[in-house]
Amino acid sequence: MKKKLYPIAITIAGSDSGGGAGIEADLKTFAALGVHGVVALTSVTAQNTYQVTGIHDLPPEMVARQIITVWEDIGIDAGKTGMLSNSEIIRAVAETVSKLGFPLVVDPVMIAKSGAPLLRPEAMNALIKYMVPIATVITPNKHEAEKITGMKINNFEDARKAAKYIVEELGATAAIVKGGHIEVGEESIDIMYYNGKFYEFRAPRIVDGCTHGTGCSFSAAIAVELAKGRDIVKAVKTAKKFITMAIKYGVKVGRGACPVNPMAWIEIPAMKYHVIESVKEALKIIIENQKLFNKYIPETGSNLVMAIDPRYAETINDVAGVKGRIVRYGDGVKIVGPVEFGASSHMARLVLTAMKYDPSIRSAMNLKYDEKLVERAEKKGYIVVYIDRRNEPEEVRLVEGRSIPWIMETAFKKVKRVPDIIYDTGDVGKEAMIRVLGKTPVEVVYKALSIIRE
């Protein structure tokens, strides 16, 4: 079979005006994982991160009509359902999807994170009777699985029984009982029963992430992979990786449960590419001016670094620099290795600390100390701060990796902003150094050049 360039996935779900869950989360997930997303809206909710203040259901015929109209022209490779709200909508969706016959992921949405009911009590039986049997995969959490099976779920053994029951007695092809609230420990473990076998999907539990829309985005990700033609086990594996990242790099907005961030999946790699290109562009300028830079490359070498967006930057692995540093070579300089993430530790830590004070400062370079450079910087009106390394507290000296943040913190305290230049004149075993900071590597290199040039 010829592979489709644009697999099509449909979300049959409600809208969350807060943009965190529902079709909004689903469409972001579809886009991030590379399929074309289409929609059958079931209900409009007036919602934010901590409450639902109104629900307006669409007529069931209108829900069915959206699915059919899309199918007739664009086609549907797989779909998911989210909030279905009432039994008439459930009947209309079940009937339409059964007729068309595409693989369907059912997220049996009942209650929002904020506590609001999203499924009328009268619709519970319809959900079990009509939706479960047509589910290729159904993804209940602990509470939803309890409602569907009538069982109590307190541990993974109970979750296994429930998943098996949903498949063998209620007719789903595969059932995943999500473990967000079961045996809460270091990991978030989901249990799947499929084709006579149990599967476990594990990921580290994230404590300070965002969880509004997790269920929506997880089920949408499974639907995407099914639309691409992946088998169920592979689809869930990818969805689990996807949702873990979306929770970790959540969108920190609102005063309730903040929304997951499905875009992290593509945004982080895209930013990394942009950062590498930005460092490379600035390295070209250094090479063009290598004779000027030669004299000011420290004995230990220089590095030029840039961090990814502050929303995502956490460790030195989120900062790119030159592997093996920039060294003196004849009367010029040599860029020793490739530009890589995690290639620098000192300069990376400087930038990570600077970003805590001013998120726009994402780049830095170090030069050999020379009083002439400091004089020129001051004359040019740059903010220049001197740090006396003899004042470095004992507890800072003793801990590996603490000196650089201390230098940045001390400099910030002196001028109440991130300076353009921080310098020190060294100490026993510490080379005197000038550190140039800025928004981008090109800006940093031009700043450096402007003080190097006589």
Ligand X SMILES: Nc1ncnc2c1ncn2[C@@H]1O[C@H](COP(=O)(O)OP(=O)(O)OP(=O)(O)O)[C@@H](O)[C@H]1O
Ligand Y SMILES: Cc1ncc(COP(=O)(O)O)c(N)n1
- On whether the CB atoms of residues 16 and 56 are closer than 8 A, the answer is no
Among 164, 205, 311, 430, binds ligand X (CB under 6 A): 205
Kindly give the residue spans of alpha helices, DSSP state H, lying in 338-437: 346-357, 371-379, 394-398, 403-415
Reference 357, options 285, 295, 408; nearest CA is 408
Rounded distance, CA 435 to CA 451, Å?
12
Please name the amino acid found at residue 38: V
Rounded distance, CA 332 to CA 293, Å?
7
Does 215 help bind ligand X (rule: CB under 6 A)?
yes
Which range in 56-64, 180-188, 360-368, 402-410 contacts ligand X by CB under 6 A? 180-188
Does 47 help bind ligand X (rule: CB under 6 A)?
no
- To 10 degrees, the CA torsion angle through 36, 42, 46, 52? -110
Among 180, 254, 324, 332, binds ligand X (CB under 6 A): 180
> How many residues bind ligand X, per CB under 6 A?
20
**In 10 A of CB 288, how many CB atoms?**
12
Among 14, 19, 60, 209, binds ligand Y (CB under 6 A): 14
Among 178, 346, 368, 389, binds ligand X (CB under 6 A): 178
Q: Enumerate the active-site residues.
A: 178, 211, 213-216
In the complex with ligand Y, the residue whose CB is nearer, 16 or 158, is 16
In the complex with ligand X, the residue whose CB is nearer, 179 or 321, is 179
Reference 361, options 446, 440, 442; nearest CA is 440
Does 218 help bind ligand X (rule: CB under 6 A)?
yes
Does 261 help bind ligand Y (rule: CB under 6 A)?
no
Which range in 166-174, 240-248, 397-405, 412-420 contacts ligand X by CB under 6 A? 240-248
DSSP 322: E
Does 247 help bind ligand X (rule: CB under 6 A)?
yes
Does 261 help bind ligand X (rule: CB under 6 A)?
no
Does 106 help bind ligand Y (rule: CB under 6 A)?
no
Does 215 help bind ligand Y (rule: CB under 6 A)?
yes
Among 19, 82, 209, 298, binds ligand Y (CB under 6 A): 82
- On whether the CB atoms of residues 142 and 153 are closer than 8 A, the answer is yes
Q: Alpha-carbon Rg of the chain, whole angstroms? A: 28
Does 423 help bind ligand X (rule: CB under 6 A)?
no
- On whether the CB atoms of residues 39 and 62 are closer than 8 A, the answer is no
Among 149, 244, 344, 363, binds ligand X (CB under 6 A): 244
Structure tokens at 12: 């049959």
Does 22 help bind ligand Y (rule: CB under 6 A)?
yes
Which residues lie across from 133 on neighbouring strands?
none
Rounded distance, CA 153 to CA 158, Å?
5
Rounded distance, CA 355 to CA 231, Å?
43
In the complex with ligand Y, the residue whose CB is nearer, 258 or 452, is 258
Minimum separation from the CB atom of position 189 to ligand X (A): 7
Which range in 238-246, 294-302, 348-356, 382-390 contacts ligand X by CB under 6 A? 238-246
Counting beta carbons within 10 angstroms of the beta carbon of residue 313, is it exposed (0 to 12), middle (13 to 18) or buried (19 or more)? buried
Which residues lie across from 78 on neighbouring strands?
9
In the complex with ligand X, the residue whose CB is nearer, 60 or 215, is 215
Minimum separation from the CB atom of position 213 to ligand X (A): 8
SS3 408: helix
> How many residues bind ligand Y, per CB under 6 A?
19
Minimum separation from the CB atom of position 390 to ligand Y (A): 54
Among 213, 250, 298, 419, binds ligand Y (CB under 6 A): 213
**In 10 A of CB 320, how many CB atoms?**
28
Minimum separation from the CB atom of position 51 to ligand Y (A): 10
Which chain residues interact with ligand Y by CB under 6 A? 13-16, 21-22, 45, 47, 82-83, 109, 112-113, 118, 212-216
